Amino acid sequence: MKKSLCFATNNAHKLEEIQAILGDSFDLLSLKDINCIEELPETGNTLEANSLQKAQYLYDHYQVNCFADDSGLEVSALGGEPGVYSARYAGEQRVHADNINLLLKNLSSKADRSAQFRTVITLFQNGEYHQFEGIIKGQIIEELRGTDGFGYDPIFMPEGFDKTFAEMSLEEKGEISHRARAFQKLVAFLK
């Protein structure tokens, strides 16, 4: 029987990416599907705290089994920044191009350009929660390459590839991404 699960997002990119991993064994509901229109609280200082906060809010207020994810780009030479602040690195207006420009500027004098994307998912189910982590390591290149994807995709080249996330198809990225890896763990747990 299909399991119904709410994913704490209305982001079409993410829903598409995750539906591809889940296949048709799960009935994935968006926030819109459960009539949740308010912004979810996200005031933690870590990916773990933020994903837990979002999932717990939904479980408490909408009584649905659900999961929430939180991701960030962690750059070694910047002490793990922008990390949990990835979306608003260059300011509250959350503009991807501005975030990329700031990151490239802050990295311009650094020799070490290694970085990783990391996702933490919190599943809230029947009053209990479980967390799952996914990581993809790579390098920050000096110029933007590719037009697909979102966020920092044009400057992130995953280890073992000579193209950026923004030069990959949704399927290619979906096989190796931090989110995919975390979601594979979630799916294995659910099955």
With 0-12 / 13-18 / 19 or more C-beta atoms within 10 angstroms meaning exposed / middle / buried, residue 173 is buried
Stretch of 20-28, 53-61, 64-72, 140-148 lying at the interface with ligand IMP (CB under 6 A): 64-72
Whether 148 is catalytic is: no
> Which residues does residue 131 pair with via DSSP β-bridges, in sequence order?
122
Give the Å distances, CA to CA, from 32 to 41, 43, 69, 109, 148. 16, 22, 17, 44, 25
Stretch of 25-33, 71-79, 101-109, 122-130 lying at the interface with ligand IMP (CB under 6 A): 71-79
**CB 60 to ligand IMP: min, Å:** 21
Residue 122 has which token pair? 């919190």
> What is the size of the binding site for ligand IMP (CB under 6 A)?
16
83 binds ligand IMP (CB under 6 A): no
- Report DSSP state, residue 40: P
71 binds ligand IMP (CB under 6 A): yes
b vs e for 30-52, b when ≥16 Cβ sit within 10 Å of the residue's Cβ? bbeebebeeebebeeeebebbbb
86 binds ligand IMP (CB under 6 A): yes
Whose Cβ is closer to ligand IMP: residue 57's or residue 117's? 117
- Among 31, 66, 70, 185, the residue binding ligand IMP under the rule CB under 6 A is 70
**CB 155 to ligand IMP: min, Å:** 9
Specify the 3-state DSSP secondary structure of 79.
Answer: coil
Q: What residues act catalytically? A: 70
Q: Applying CB under 6 A, which residues contact ligand IMP?
A: 69-73, 86-87, 99, 117, 149-153, 165, 177
